[in-house]
Amino acid sequence: MPELPEVETTKRGIEPWLKDQIISKIIVRQPKLRWPVSDEIHSLEGEKVVSLSRRAKYILVETAKGTAIWHLGMSGSLRLVEASEDPGGHDHIDWQLSNGKVLRYHDPRRFGALLWVAPGADSEHLTHLGPEPLSDAFDAAYLFQRSRGKSQAIKTFIMDGKVVVGVGNIYANESLFKAGIRPQTAAGKISKQRYERLVAEIKTVLAAAIEQGGTTLRDFVGGDGKPGYFAQQLFVYGRGGQPCKFCNTTLKEIRQGQRATVYCPSCQR
């Protein structure tokens, strides 16, 4: 599943091609995505793209008539293609732009979405979300306070979008490893001092992944059609049973919330 760095990479990749362009025409070949594509999305035709932004794993495209909200789901991607390029079987939505390019949404599993929000309205998909992990609002004091009394494992706690957005499975594994915290540890039993380090590592890991273009996943390509390159620097994710890169101890793999969790029994406590 594309995580926050992949979504941010996509946003940055398509932004120069969309901003200040007119959405000439919207073609919806398959409206049955995770949520049905509303016919109101066609009200954006003829409108100029004012700005692009990201909130959690959503990409927001703002116009005077309303805001389109893209979600890539598990296998979705947004790419700029030439108008002459014929769509494939999983190319569900096209936005024809005034610069002659086409923003094309590709999604084999159809777990993504294209939502529409009227001007000045809030999206129900965004209102409940926690702070952005790279913002000043996300700090050790906040995370420590939210964790008090929580018996929930720290890994599932930081992956909860109501606590903080965008810390998906890959980056939760990596951040906990670098902070030296075992993923099974109860969130409420972690000291503020250890949260200081964890917050710092979450910010560092996510910022590095964004800078390097996101993690290469089987179904993901960036907005410019190029995959990310962060995967080659992963310390624990996907490396269960292999030696730790720091101490050579065999990494353990367990399941938490139906997700693979990999950690070092020696480096993490």
Instruction: Return the domain boundaries, the chain.
Output: 4-117, 140-263
Q: Which residues contact 71 (CB under 8 A, 6 or more apart)?
A: 34, 57, 58, 59, 112, 113, 114, 115, 125
Q: Active-site positions?
A: 2-3, 57, 259
Torsion, Cα 243 245 247 253, to 10 degrees, reads -50
Q: Is 2.40.50.1020 the CATH number for 140-263?
A: no
pLDDT band at 267 (very low <50, low <70, confident <90, very high): very high
Per the annotation, binding residues for DNA are 90, 109, 150
User: Is 112 in contact with 39 (CB distance < 8 Å)?
Assistant: no
Per the annotation, binding residues are 90, 109, 150
For 146-162, how does the pLDDT look when each residue is reduced to its tens digit (9 = 90+)? 999 999 999 999 999 99
Mean pLDDT to the nearest integer, 32-57: 97
Q: What is the pTM of this model?
A: 0.89
Topology of domain 4-117, CATH: N-terminal domain of MutM-like DNA repair proteins (3.20.190)
Distances (CA, A) of 224 to 15, 148, 190, 214: 10, 43, 41, 12
Q: Quick one: how far is CA 249 from the chain centroid?
A: 31
- The count of other CB atoms within 10 Å of the CB of residue 124 is 9
